[in-house]
Every structure is written in C-alpha cells, then in structure tokens.
Amino acid sequence: ICPGISFALPNVELPIAQLLYHFDWKLPNDAKPEELDMNEKFGLTVGRENDLELIAIPYCHSFLQ
C-alpha cells in the first residue's frame, strides 16, 4: 500500500466534491447519455478510449437568494 495515500485521497476527493456541488453538468450538443462511447483503452490501467466532454453550468443555491 502506498504510504502517501492518506495525503493523496483528500487532495483528490475534495476538488471533485466541490466541482460536483457547485456545478450542474450537461453533455454538449444535446447528446443523450445512451449515446456515449464507453469503449475502453487497455494498458497499464484501463481508461476511456475517448475523452468525456461536459459543460459546467454554475449552480445557484436557493438558500443564497
């Protein structure tokens, strides 16, 4: 097990949580989730063959208005 994992996990999880909390996300060109290419690229790790492109829409919290 990596000795730096206790440092690395919060430094990855917090920015992702903030992005998910502060933005709504949509696919470009009114694409549907069913149309996404989910093919995998194999190597040392498994990743997506094509990048996932999303549009970030700022989320307005109702309690701030």
pLDDT of 45: 87
Q: Is the pTM of this model over 0.95?
A: no
Q: Does residue 65 register a pLDDT over 80?
A: no
CA atoms of 21 and 55, how far apart (whole Å): 14
pLDDT of 22: 92
- Backbone phi, psi, residue 33, to 5°: -55, -30
pLDDT of 52: 92
- What DSSP character marks residue 22? H
pLDDT of 51: 92
The predicted-structure confidence for 16-56, as pLDDT tens digits, reads as follows 999 999 999 999 998 999 999 999 999 898 999 999 999 99
